[in-house]
Amino acid sequence: MNTSNNTQDTEPKKRFIAGAVCPACQVIDGIRMWEVDGVPHRDCVHCGYSDTLNAAGNSVPNELPTRINTSALQKPKEAQGQALKFFPNPKLKKSDS
């Protein structure tokens, strides 16, 4: 008895790409590709590398966290002042002209 399920799978169908080389670990035939809402994604089953592709098939780089893009998320630290005392150098003499 064969029962059909009319609900769609929520997990997209992933397919291996023959001859594809992982950009991270350089292993051949480890790349899987799938689409979510028309946007192609790929990952490597060997090292876990994953990225998203644009319409031209190029990798879309993820923005690396830097002090510029993460400083807005953090509360600025309160500046603390420190008193400094300068001592004159006795070896330096003022020259009278």
Neighbours of 49 (CB within 10 A): 16
pTM: 0.52
Asked if 20 contacts 26 with a C-beta cutoff of 8 angstroms, the reply is no
Residue 88 in tokens = 């004159």
Q: List the Cα angle 4/2/8 in 5-degree steps.
A: 20
Measured CA to CA, the distance from residue 42 to residue 91 in angstroms comes to 70
pLDDT at 6: 46
pLDDT exceeds 60 at position 3: no
pLDDT at 64: 74
When pLDDT is averaged across residues 41-46 and rounded to a whole number, the result is 92
Asked if 42 contacts 63 with a C-beta cutoff of 8 angstroms, the reply is no
